Structure 1
Amino acid sequence: MARKNTNTKVATKIEPSATFFPTSERPGTLIIVEGCDGSGKSTQLIILQKLLEANGFFCHHTEWNSNLLIKPLGKEIKKRDPHCPAVVFDLIFAADFMERYITEIKGKLAAGMVVLCDRYMYTALARGYARGLNVEDQRAFYDIFFPKPDLAFYFQLPVDVAAKRAIGRNPLKWYEAGMDMSFSENIIDSFMQFQTRVIAGYDQAAQSDHLHIIDGTKPVYETTPDVIRITAEYFKKKYHVSLGSAMSAAAV
């Protein structure tokens, strides 16, 4: 009697709607900003959107962990488990992005729109690194499912400045301060230790992927010209248009 072959490999196929455009074939443009809270990244993205729309570009703004289907799941898990495994969080955030990519981002890039992402896969890599995940394992996954951005800005901020801005803005949250990692029973001390690791993760990603590094300690009005200049150079090359004439439209 012939024995059943138990070593047969099952072929897998990525859902067509989940595949993404290489930058060389992408009609639209994907721009992302990364960095700690309080680094000015979100403000700069809004300014950039105003500038691009003033130049006739249709834009779509999307934020980290904002999918209406996945976000409630993450909230429920955090509520039920104060020490949720890092890999579980990583998968939830990845699912959030993939849902947003399939349902809102890919179609807009195909239509030639500019998609502006407030946080991207580098947030997952940095936080995973801070929680002890193997970055190479993370990269292997994200490099498959996360499309490479056309422009990537990293707003770099020292941990002491990040702490002052975070504490002065809102009460620190449990996971934001890394309390799940048991660095310290003091939430501020825990925040400092956790965010030090997060920033180290960001710094590594910025170097390896050649992100445009912006000094997050400077006021917005000092860094806006750098962001606009880099963006204008890219759009001049890709679309043969000048963004400089509409700088005043981006003022806040």
Structure 2
Amino acid sequence: MSEASQFFDNTPVLKVNNACIFQEHKVVLEDVHFSIEKGEFVYLVGRTGSGKSSLLRTLYADLPLKLGEIDIAGYSIKTISSKEIPFLRRRLGIIFQDFQLFADRTVDENLLFVMKATGWKERSKMKQRLSEVLMQVGLGSSGTKMPHQLSGGEQQRVVIARALINEPILLIADEPTGNLDPEVSGGILELFQDINRSGTTVLMATHNYQFIKNFPSRVLKCEDSKLLDSQKHDFELSSLH
């Protein structure tokens, strides 16, 4: 399927069928079935060690899929080749709890590195896109700053800008506010809400029950080797740690 046609059909952004998720040689989630439609905002919750990060890593082909089917952003994780993985990841925005910014480069240089690595060539278009994503995350005047000159919340906004560069069809965020103060975390969640309202699908792993309380949305919960879906199951959300 061509990239253009994927944007106009009704195929889910992500479809998981009968998948087993492994952490090394141990099954952490079994018989996983769910799909995420274009434009959805979905939380992924569960206790530490319940399989959240392993599931996300399997989605972007960082862990192998040994059993079941996963189709994401037009790619089959079961059959994806190592050469195709960078192209899959260009269609996904991936955001980690630890910022993984180059400490010796400015904000602009951090973003330009990713652009060059993902095939951008034309300098004027690169500068324009860089300016757009920094404005989108509220850091329009921070391009010349070094990461150590930014607060934790600002650094996470740079990471989000980096993830948005290639206009991903799906944003995958693994505990994006885990290292941030509560008041800063709220601003980051609002930014994700804004990104979602602009049309990007969001899957966010979080321990923060307050997020779900303040911004209710669909929830997937990893529990006892199963993945529960708030669209199909009733479950308790008060204990996520």
Which has the larger share of helix? 1
TM-score w.r.t. the length of structure 1 is 0.32
**Bigger strand share:** 2
TM-score (norm 2): 0.33
